[in-house]
Amino acid sequence: MKPAPFRYADPRSLDEALDVLAADPGAKVLAGGQSLLPLLAMRLAAPATLVDVNRVPGLDAVEVTGDGVRVGALVRHARLLRDEPAARVQPLLARATANVAHPAIRNRGTTVGSIAHADPSGEMTSVLALTGGSVTVATAGAGRPSAGGTCSWGRWRRR
């Protein structure tokens, strides 16, 4: 089956992406596409607008903070798997990411996208819950985070 027709937006900044999303409440964000594209192909999702954020700068960062690990919306599973500082702070991230699908999916799929689609068989949603993690969502308007959508995993502590 083929996807239903949709408009394609290719924003070059976070502000532009958020403006497009605000203008169409039914729009979907495309990052890795490993969760979204099959839904489109089977017409289980039929957004009027598809917003490709792959050219938005700053969404591909993994940051280790005093509180844990922050993962940007464009961080691929494979990138997170190779991030040694993140694995030292939150070992469960690397262990779970190694079990995400297979290498082709890990090379293209995004960790935050996996969480956004909340697939019950997905590893990363469970890891987020187990570590007391949180999701930060950027929205159009004042006071939004400058880094766009991120997920944060709490710092791992031995008991």
Is 44 within 8 Å of 35 (Cβ atoms)?
Answer: no
Task: Give the Cα separation of 64 and 23 in Å (integer).
Answer: 34
> Could you tell me if residue 34 is inside a domain?
yes
The reported pLDDT for the residue numbered 37 is 93
Task: Give the Cα separation of 127 and 21 in Å (integer).
Answer: 28
pLDDT above 90 as % of the chain: 69
Burial group, residue 34, by CB count within 10 angstroms (0-12, 13-18, 19+): buried
> Could you tell me if residue 159 is inside a domain?
no
Q: Does one domain contain both 136 and 93?
A: yes
> Could you tell me if residue 57 is inside a domain?
no
Of 17-26, 79-88, 93-102, 144-153, the least confident: 144-153
- The total domain count for the chain is 2
Q: Does one domain contain both 134 and 90?
A: yes
> Could you tell me if residue 28 is inside a domain?
yes
How many Cβ atoms from other residues are within 10 Å of residue 36's Cβ? 21
Task: Give the Cα separation of 93 and 96 in Å (integer).
Answer: 5
Q: CATH no. for residue 44?
A: 3.30.43.10
Q: Does one domain contain both 147 and 69?
A: yes
- What's the mean pLDDT in 36-64? 95
Q: Does one domain contain both 91 and 71?
A: yes
**Strands ordered across the beta sheet of 150-154:** 62-65, 68-72, 150-154, 134-136
Q: Does one domain contain both 82 and 138?
A: yes
> Could you tell me if residue 22 is inside a domain?
yes
Q: pLDDT higher for 52 or 131?
A: 52
pTM across the whole model:
0.87
Task: Reply yes or no on whether the pLDDT at 145 is more than 90.
Answer: no
Full residue range of the structural domain in which residue 112 is found: 62-154
Q: CATH no. for residue 71?
A: 3.30.465.10
Q: Does one domain contain both 105 and 143?
A: yes
Token couple for 32: 């890795």
Q: Does one domain contain both 72 and 120?
A: yes
Is 141 within 8 Å of 64 (Cβ atoms)?
Answer: no
Q: Does one domain contain both 69 and 16?
A: no
Q: Does one domain contain both 95 and 147?
A: yes
Residue-wise DSSP of 6-45: -EEE--SSHHHHHHHHHH-TT-EEESS-TTHHHHHHTTS-
Of 18-22, 49-53, 108-112, 124-128, the least confident: 124-128
> Could you tell me if residue 83 is inside a domain?
yes
Task: Give the Cα separation of 101 and 96 in Å (integer).
Answer: 10
Q: Does one domain contain both 69 and 33?
A: no
115 DSSP assignment: H
